[in-house]
Every structure is written in C-alpha cells, then in structure tokens.
C-alpha cells in the first residue's frame, strides 16, 4: 500500500506519495518539501512532518532537514564529523555530527530491508 501525506500549501491540500518526497527542510516558520520537480511550502514544524513520515524511508540528518533514503546517491565524510549527502539530481545536504550515528544506522537498515547489496 502506498503511503500518502497531506500537505497544506497555497490554500490547497496536496496528497503526496511518500516516495515522491526528496527531502524536507525547515525554513523559518515554514517547511519546504522538495518533490520531483516541485516544491511545496507549508506552515508546519519539521517535527510534525517527521512524525507523519515513515522511518523506514526517511531519516533526520540535521535539526533542519529530513531526507528520503531512496534519493541518496552517495555519502561523504567531512571535517568535524559531518557528512555530505548527494541526492538524485545533484542536491547536496549536510548531516550534522549529532545525527550521523542515526543516519548510518538507518542506511544500514534500509539496505537490508530493500535487499540491496553493499560492496565494501
């Protein structure tokens, strides 16, 4: 069954399939939801949206960002313990030191759940 999330934006309620969401970022009092080629802005908190999203597909990478693990192309360690994530389409997001442990744990679980093969 396909999970959908209701997002209020531009006086409309959008029914968005989880797999269509690339990432979610906080932007002041709004949350910016990046979809395929579109962006929705909603007056909500990142915590509220995080509670609606599947933990099997999404992971918090920063106090202001959540990412769809299916969209991650590669993860690169940076100075200071941060990681740089590159998503489909070239968008780059930073994973803070505070969230790196959970990111790596979630990615390992994601690989196992989706029968992906990891070459060391």
Residue 110 token pair: 């994601």
pLDDT tens by residue, 12-69: 999 999 999 999 999 988 999 999 889 999 999 999 999 999 999 999 999 999 999 9
Which pLDDT band, with edges at 50, 70 and 90, does 94 fall under?
very high
Per-residue pLDDT band at 110 (split at 50, 70, 90): confident
pLDDT of residue 81: 93
* Global pTM value: 0.90
Domains of the chain in sequence order: 4-113 (2.40.50.1020)
Contact 18, 4 (CB under 8 A): yes
Task: Kindly state the percentage of the chain with pLDDT values over 70.
Answer: 93
Contact 58, 64 (CB under 8 A): no
């Amino acid at each position: 069954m396909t999970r959908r999330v209701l997002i209020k934006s531009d006086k409309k309620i959008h029914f968005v399939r989880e797999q269509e969401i690339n990432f979610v970022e906080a932007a002041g009092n709004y949350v910016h939801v990046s979809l395929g080629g579109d962006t929705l802005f909603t007056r909500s908190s990142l915590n509220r949206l995080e509670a609606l999203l599947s933990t099997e597909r999404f992971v918090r990478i920063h106090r202001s960002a959540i990412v769809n693990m299916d969209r991650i192309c590669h993860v690169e360690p940076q100075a200071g313990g941060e990681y740089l994530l590159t998503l489909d389409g070239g968008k780059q997001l930073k994973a803070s030191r505070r969230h790196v442990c959970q990111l790596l744990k979630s990615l390992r679980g994601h690989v196992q759940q989706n029968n992906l093969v990891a070459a060391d």
